[in-house]
């Protein structure tokens, strides 16, 4: 049938996390708790950094930016996912789907760039400790962070405008729990090669730029740590970047598992789990990892819990 005679889709239906109506309430309660912890954890990190003078350093300002990104990143996907778990029809408008995709892609890109900036910050702190305050100034912090938001949202605009300018005139069932790239593009009745190429270019650009920065930074960091004579000195140096390294590993392992393997129906459930981890669970883990593993943050939180109202933090 000629595509011109078909009706443009105006509403998409998401397949969601599960079709099991008895299991859905348990998933709702679990992910509601995850979302509450995500919101409280990231707002808590932002508040702790802001009110504690001892944390007014570039490392913790970058951590604040990461928490801001995680806060909005999780809110793009999780509330809709929660409402769908309690709904018979998991509908999202065409414009709503486009907006969800736009903010999801933009914030995911900003996240990988902020993680790479944090790796560079740790490199300077460990490899050039005497010049750290001269190299990583507050002006440079803003100069590093602001372009990440600009690049993230501009490349997302390019992807979104391309993908949602395609014709969608067949099935409206998005085989996912949110509007991700492949499940949406697969529904198009237009030629999708150009849009797929554009998206692949931006995904590769953001991922490779971030990963190269992280790998080079940690190669130099490890080399510098190995040259430290004392075991205590090596341990202290490694502890300053272990929290960040754990966040990077969790994020990239789940992303690579989801996007960098051959398509296979046997991996669909594993793909869904990986998508849930990087889109919903990872924003919760980042503040928890820094709260539990970072000694400075732990000390400030303990002082906040124990202090009297008149005591300084």
Asked whether residue 192 carries a pLDDT value surpassing 60, the answer given is yes
Residue 76 is predicted with a pLDDT of 95
Domain for residue 209, yes or no? Answer: yes
Task: Tally the domains of the chain.
Answer: 1
| Phi then psi dihedrals of residue 7, to 5 deg | -90, 135
Better-scored residue on pLDDT, 20 or 82: 82
Sheet with 91-93, side-by-side order of all strands? 91-93, 11-14, 173-174
Q: Quote the Cα angle for 43-37-178, to 5°.
A: 100
β-sheet bridge partners, residue 173: 13
The answer on pLDDT for 1 being more than 50 is no
Q: What is the pTM of this model?
A: 0.88
Mean pLDDT of the residues in the chain: 85
Written as one string, the DSSP assignment of 230-268 is SHHHHHHHHHHHHHHHHHHHHHHHHHHHHHSS---GGGH
**Helix (H/G/I), strand (E/B), else coil: 93:** strand
- Please check whether residue 3 lies inside any domain of the structure: no
In a domain, 131, yes or no: yes
Q: For a pLDDT cut of 90, what percent of the chain falls above it?
A: 43
Q: Tell me the per-residue pLDDT of 248-276, one tens digit each, with 9 for 90 and over.
A: 888 888 777 766 655 544 446 667 777 88
User: With bands split at pLDDT 50, 70 and 90, how would you rate the model's confidence at 240?
Assistant: confident
The answer to whether residue 4 sits within a structural domain is: no
The verdict on residue 237 lying in a domain is yes
Q: What are phi and psi of 297, to 5 degrees?
A: -65, -40
Quickly state the pLDDT bin for 88 (edges 50, 70, 90). Answer: confident
The C-alpha atoms of residue 155 and residue 196 are separated, in whole angstroms, by 13
Give the whole-angstrom CA distance, residue 77 versus residue 99: 11
CATH of the domain at 289: 1.20.1070.10
Count Cβ atoms below 10 Å from residue 235 Cβ, excluding itself. Answer: 12
Q: Which domain holds residue 266?
A: 9-306
Segment 2-14 mean pLDDT = 72
User: How many Cβ atoms from other residues are within 10 Å of residue 158's Cβ?
Assistant: 15
Supply the pLDDT for residue 238. Answer: 80
Looking at the domain assignment, is residue 244 inside a domain? Answer: yes
Confidence of residue 218 (pLDDT cuts 50, 70, 90): very high
What's the rounded mean pLDDT across residues 171-198?
Answer: 90
Question: Is residue 309 scored above 60 in pLDDT?
Answer: no
In percent, the amount of the chain with pLDDT more than 70 equals: 88
**Are 311 and 92 in contact, with CB atoms under 8 Å apart?**
no
CA–CA distance, 64 with 43 (Å, rounded to integer):
9
Which segment of 106-110, 185-189, 252-256 scores lowest on mean pLDDT? Answer: 252-256
The answer to whether residue 1 sits within a structural domain is no
Neighbours of 312 (CB within 10 A): 7
Residue range 292-308: mean pLDDT, rounded:
70
pLDDT of residue 13: 92
Residue 6: per-residue pLDDT? 62
Report the pLDDT value the prediction gives residue 261, as an integer from 0 to 100: 56
Give the DSSP letter of residue 189: S
pLDDT of amino acid 118: 92
Instruction: Kindly state the average pLDDT of the residues 89-101.
Output: 94
Residue 98 lies in a domain: yes
Tokens 């150009």 -> residue: 194
């Amino acid at each position: 049938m000629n595509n011109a005679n078909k009706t443009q889709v105006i509403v998409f239906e998401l397949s969601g996390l599960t079709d099991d109506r008895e299991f859905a309430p348990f998933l709702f309660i679990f992910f509601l708790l995850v979302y509450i912890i995500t919101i409280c954890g990231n707002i808590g990190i932002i508040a702790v950094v802001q009110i504690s003078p001892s944390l007014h350093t570039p490392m913790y300002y970058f951590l604040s930016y990461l928490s801001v990104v995680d806060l909005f990143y999780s809110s793009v996907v999780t509330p809709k996912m929660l409402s769908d778990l309690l709904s018979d029809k998991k509908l999202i408008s065409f414009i709503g789907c486009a907006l969800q995709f736009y903010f999801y892609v933009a914030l995911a890109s900003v996240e990988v760039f902020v993680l790479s900036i944090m790796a560079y910050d740790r490199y300077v702190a460990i490899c050039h400790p005497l010049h750290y305050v001269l190299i990583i100034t507050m002006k440079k912090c803003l100069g590093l962070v602001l372009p990440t938001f600009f690049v993230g949202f501009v490349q997302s605009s390019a992807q979104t405008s391309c993908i949602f300018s395609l014709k969608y005139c067949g099935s409206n069932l998005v085989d996912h729990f949110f509007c991700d790239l492949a499940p949406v593009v697969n529904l198009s009745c237009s030629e999708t090669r150009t849009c797929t190429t554009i998206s692949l270019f931006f995904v590769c650009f953001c991922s490779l730029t971030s990963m190269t920065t992280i790998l080079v930074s940690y190669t130099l960091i490890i080399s510098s740590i190995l040259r430290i004579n004392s075991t205590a000195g090596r341990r202290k140096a490694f502890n300053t970047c272990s929290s960040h390294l754990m966040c990077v590993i969790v994020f990239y392992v789940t992303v690579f598992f989801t996007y960098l393997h051959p398509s296979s129906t046997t991996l669909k459930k594993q793909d869904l789990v990986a998508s849930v981890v990087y889109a919903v669970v990872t924003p919760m883990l980042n503040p928890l990892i820094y709260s539990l593993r970072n000694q400075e943050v732990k000390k400030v939180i303990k002082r906040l819990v124990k202090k009297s109202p008149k005591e300084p933090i």
